[in-house]
Amino acid sequence: MNEKPPFDEHAECRHPAMCMVYMVDLADFAEERLPDTILVHLTSPLAALLVQVDDLCSRKNDTYSGGSKDPWSNYRSAEDLGLSTLDSAMMRFVEKVNRVKAIYSGRSVDRVGEPIRETLLDAAAIALIAVAIMDEARG
């Protein structure tokens, strides 16, 4: 039952080097009329990078959340120290920006083995997490 839907390799792609297939699992959202997966043809460099950001965020969340079903549990843990969940996300974002600035300017040497590209993707993920936390707070 885990068959992938057909992929039209001849579909128009404005940036062939950046086109990829991304399977979206709708198990949590699906109604009977929706398929188990949706085929999304990413045709822009930004869309492909967003998939990479999502993948990086998912992999890191598995480690940081301690297996919690709450994707922001590691950010919410700041509440134990009197900080808001959004404050926690903003602090982590600033840390990533400071790391990029220090390495990019040559003031610091990378001592943790995280390429600057991954740090930038991580900063993008944290920025999007902050937006999600803000949206969640608005209800």
- Region 33-50 average pLDDT: 62
For 13-23, write each residue's pLDDT tens digit: 444 444 444 44
In this structure, what DSSP letter does residue 44 have? S
Arithmetic mean of pLDDT, 74-101 = 94
User: How does the average pLDDT of the chain come out, rounded?
Assistant: 75
Residue 84, exposed/middle/buried by CB under 10 A (0-12, 13-18, 19+)?
A: middle
pTM: 0.67
| Measured distance CA(3)–CA(31) in Å, rounded | 19
Decide: 14 and 43 in contact? Cβ < 8 Å: yes
Q: Considering the chain, what percentage of its residues have pLDDT values greater than 70?
A: 68
> What is the CB neighbour count within 10 angstroms for residue 72?
20
